[in-house]
Amino acid sequence: MKNIDASTYAIRVGLDGRSDDPNGLKNAGGGISLIKTYNNNGELLGSGGHGYIMKGMAATFTTEQTSGEQSTTTEFYATNDALCIAYITATMDDGTQWGWTGDWGYTCGLNWYPSNTHLQNQNKTDE
């Protein structure tokens, strides 16, 4: 039996700021309604994944694909309760691993926001 072609995404949501900080991040948690993956020619490879991610938490979503082609573009769709993404890590169908961080709000035409999360570097220390 052939394995299912799929890519897996771990999405970390920002942590709300202190309640006494009027400029801090608020309501970071939210929903993912759909994830779509495309190859380098812009052809849809697959879609899937939906769920809610609480503030400061991460969730993993898998998108089944029609083939084992490399997914070079991914679209993430929020529900009407949009979420503030701190970072995303991905394991593609071919086993390669990728990560994205920063400027999510700007990409969506919104303001920049601090995620209040930390990442580990290859030496497993916070940066």
* CATH, residue 39: 2.60.60
Tell me what pLDDT residue 44 has: 95
Q: Taking the mean position of all CA atoms in its chain, how far away is CA 26?
A: 18
Alpha carbon distance 49, 32 (integer Å)? 7
Tell me what pLDDT residue 81 has: 85
Structural domains counted in the chain: 1
Tell me what pLDDT residue 118 has: 72
Tell me what pLDDT residue 110 has: 64
Would you say residue 18 lies in a domain?
A: yes
- Give pLDDT tens digits along the chain (127 positions): 446 788 899 999 988 877 787 777 788 899 999 999 999 999 999 999 889 999 989 999 999 988 888 888 899 998 988 888 888 999 988 888 888 877 666 666 666 666 767 776 666 555 5
Would you say residue 119 lies in a domain?
A: no
Range of the domain at 10: 6-107
Would you say residue 126 lies in a domain?
A: no
Tell me what pLDDT residue 41 has: 95
**φ, ψ for residue 105 (rounded to 5)?**
-60, -45
